[in-house]
Amino acid sequence: MAVRIIRRARNVAHNPLLLMAAIVAAVYVLGGAFAAEPANAVERTALQQALKSTVLVLVPDDNGDLYDSGSGTIMDAEKGLILTNFHVMGDPDTGEWFNQEGLAAIGVMPTDLRSAPVLRYMARMIGHDVNLDLALLQVVGMIDDASAALPTNLGLTTLPRGDSDDLLPGDRLAVIGYPGLGGATVTYTEGVVSGFLDEDLDGEYEWIKTDTEVNPGNSGGLAIDANGAFVGVPTAG
């Protein structure tokens, strides 16, 4: 079975550019945070929260035509901050954006958590790191009325942040996103941690290796641990 790699949350947290939004300034060990609830209820509740925090990212070109698509994770519900891969928003080889304003349409999870996402917001890229292949977006407007003021409550959901340092080979890992396979609805795939990769040989493991299926469109989405906590950013490969 093919092995995929996922950017660890720890590396996201250590990126000064993305820290400007204070979205992943620290990662937390959840441990027994859900120990008081039955195991089945915990898993379902955590899954529902993870699904709600995953968004569809549609990127137009400067003519307004769809150029690229991917997934994203809501990192701050009040500020409308969304984390995704840079290659969803621009060319990683040249660093050029797919549209000059760095805009993307954002589709949010419907209430039934099963249907196609609802295109609701426009977001703008406010920070990026081509080397880490990460981009930070912020909701700036409504899709159906560009002149309308944003509501005080955007109706977005975030999820707990786990500690990828706690992961071991064999631990369960799941990926949530919009790969475009089998329709426009969200896709959940599950596997295990296969190992870790130190890409630049600096002694720190930047990537999680996994047998979890990751396809084009999953890029920028959500990788969660067995507790449903954010531990990484999938990159299709």
pLDDT band at 180 (very low <50, low <70, confident <90, very high): confident
Report the pLDDT value the prediction gives residue 34, as an integer from 0 to 100.
Answer: 32
Is a pLDDT exceeding 50 seen at residue 26? no
Compute the C-alpha angle 95/10/203, nearest 5°. Answer: 90
Report the pLDDT value the prediction gives residue 35, as an integer from 0 to 100.
Answer: 33
Q: Which two tokens stand for residue 180?
A: 């475009």
pLDDT per residue over 119-175, tens digit each?
Answer: 999 999 999 999 888 999 999 999 998 888 999 999 999 999 888 888 999 999 999
pLDDT per residue over 208-220, tens digit each?
Answer: 888 888 888 888 8
Compute the C-alpha angle 143/146/149, nearest 5°. Answer: 105
Q: Which of 96, 77, 85 is nearest to 237 (CA)?
A: 85
pLDDT per residue over 58-91, tens digit each?
Answer: 999 999 999 999 999 999 999 999 999 999 999 9
Is a pLDDT exceeding 60 seen at residue 223? yes
The domain segmentation of the chain, as residue ranges, is 4-14+40-52+159-234
Instruction: Return the active site residues.
Output: 87, 133, 219
Compute the C-alpha angle 200/203/209, nearest 5°. Answer: 70
Q: Which class would CATH give 4-14+40-52+159-234?
A: mainly beta
Average pLDDT, the chain: 82
Which has more confidence, 206 or 218?
218
What mean pLDDT is predicted for residues 7-31?
42
Report the pLDDT value the prediction gives residue 230, as an integer from 0 to 100.
Answer: 93
Which has more confidence, 21 or 116?
116
pTM, two decimals, is 0.84
